[in-house]
Structure 1
Amino acid sequence: MINIKYADAIKTFAQIESEVIPGGIIFLFVEGLTIKWKVASKNFDMDRFKAGTDLPETSVAARAIREGNTLTEKVPREKYGRRLVVTSIPFVDDSNTPVGAMSILMPRLHPVAAGFPNFAPIVAELFPEGAFIYMTDLTKVAYIQSSKKFTLPNMYVGYELKATDIAYQTIHNKKEQTKEISEEVYGVPVYVANYPLYDEDTGKNIVATIGVVTPKSAATKLKNMANNLASCLTGISATTEELAASSSKIHENEQNLYSHIESIIATLDKINGVSEFITSVANQSNMLGLNAAIEAARAGENGRGFSVVAEEIRKLSSQSKETVPQIKILTDEIKQKISEVNKESRQSLTSSEEQAAATEEVSASIEELSAMTDELNNLAKDL
């Protein structure tokens, strides 16, 4: 208990202390059940406690005055909207009768909240792509910590929790929540993990949550790369299929050309056979013409006309015979040319077969690459 005559000295002390207590503090001077004077830290104040306000009979100050003892109580959030540690020290007059009290109100922080300013900046920088760490009470965001690489501009101290927020769901479902959120919400896809923090005395009631938000930009890059690769492979695959079809057509044409060349060679062989037959006929005609000339000479004047016919036959035979070598020369030249074409055709046929085989290998490789793009997509989803 404190004698009331020291009240002014204690008020001066309280004003000094209100600015140096790290977590903030409120000092109340109560006479009877009425708050007569108050001083609060800049970073911690409660509007419901102000000069002129009457305290209920159940308040810590009222009980300390009644009992004449210093009382300390942990006040749950339900009572004043915040978890508090309240200490009330009775003021007594010279007869040692309680006439009032000095109440000291301090925010009751969960140990994680108390250590947040120390560990959060370090933890946020441990993530390769950066992280955003935050803590909430049961209704709003109480602490935030961004990393150098990543922050959430629309998440701030005092932000009121909504039913769609992960922290809200953690509080109401009473268990940790993890979720992937698309880029529509924060501009980039993120992974959010939020965990409940329980009353440190009972371990039963949730009093706060702590959450970590990490970007999934690497997954987005992988997914975009996979999509671009898949698009390119689709185009290459279509072109390869056209090339394969073209190669097959070329191969078919080469086979037809080869068949035609073989047919032409067979025809040339028949022409050579006809030329040999002409030579044979010419030789026989020449012999017949010679015999006819001999018989015409024996016939004398009467065989003169027949002699002229025989001579013409011999001339025709001679001309036919002279033509046959020329035909043979021409057919040999044609055969030579066709032989060269045939050789080139065979080479072209072999090349087209190799091209078709190579195209099939390329198609198989593209199918493997397509399978790899699917794996890339799956990997991006797992990140």
Structure 2
Amino acid sequence: MQTHEILQNAAQTIAITSKDLSVTADDLSTLANQLSSDLAQVCQNGEKVLEDIKKTTDILRFVSDIAANSNLLGLNAAIEAARAGEHGRGFAVVAEEIRKMAVNSGKSVENIATILKTIQHETSKVVSVLVKTTELGNTQASSTGRISASIHQLAEIAANIQKVADSV
């Protein structure tokens, strides 16, 4: 009788613990899958940012060309203003301001390009870490799924032991 009671208590404890573990493992598996999915999405977003940065390089090249051409136009305008003598003095001031704006625009383009290269480099590092983390998340999700399946199997065994204990 005492053996029967010990067997029945052990079977109930195993059954309850297995059910708790099963629920927890299922929750972990769900969370691991969600984490893996979210990391993959963040990785895709990072890659999109890198693509957009590459597109801005073309735009910066265009603005740089405009700045260089504006500088030449300002220089030519200054030459023509000098030829005009006293009548071209006002135009010479405008030409000089155009040249200053062109030089400042060119420097700004260079600064922006430097900043974008830094952003691109740092974003590449982030994406690289995200790729590795996504792989880890996938591995974790897979492992958690296997643990969950094992715990479900353990719960079935515990239920069978409970049936045997009840019948004894």
Q: TM-score, normalised by structure 2?
A: 0.92
Whose relative contact order is higher, 1 or 2, with alpha carbons under 8 Å and at least 6 apart?
2
Q: Is the aligned partner of 1:234 residue 2:13?
A: no
Partner of 1:96: none
Report the Cα offset of residue 381 of structure 1. 4.4
Partner of 2:120: 335
Cα deviations by residue, 1:155-202 (Å, 9 ceiling, x for unpaired)? xxxxxxxxxxxxxxxxxxxxxxxxxxxxxxxxxxxxxxxxxxxxxxxx
Partner of 1:225: 10
In structure 2, runs of 5+ residues without a counterpart are none
Report the Cα offset of residue 220 of structure 1. 2.5
- Tell me the distance in 1 between the aligned counterparts of 2:62 and 2:85: 34
Q: Is the aligned partner of 1:322 residue 2:92?
A: no
> Structure 1 counterpart of 2:22, which letter?
S
Cα deviations by residue, 1:218-276 (Å, 9 ceiling, x for unpaired)? 23222211110110011111111111221122122212211221222222223222211
Q: Is the aligned partner of 1:363 residue 2:148?
A: yes
- Tell me the distance in 2 between the aligned counterparts of 1:373 and 1:352: 31
Report the Cα offset of residue 300 of structure 1. 1.8
- Tell me the distance in 2 between the aligned counterparts of 1:276 and 1:354: 43
> Structure 2 counterpart of 1:257, which letter?
V
- Tell me the distance in 1 between the aligned counterparts of 2:56 and 2:122: 16
Structure that is richer in strand per residue: 1
- Tell me the distance in 2 between the aligned counterparts of 1:235 and 1:380: 21
Structure that is richer in helix per residue: 2
Aligned residue runs from structure 1 range 1-383, under 5 A = 216-381=1-166, 383=168
Cα deviations by residue, 1:316-372 (Å, 9 ceiling, x for unpaired)? 111111111211111111111111111111111111111110111011101211121
In structure 1, runs of 5+ residues without a counterpart are 1-215
Q: Percent identity?
A: 32
- Tell me the distance in 1 between the aligned counterparts of 2:4 and 2:58: 79
Cα RMSD of the aligned pairs, angstroms, is: 1.6
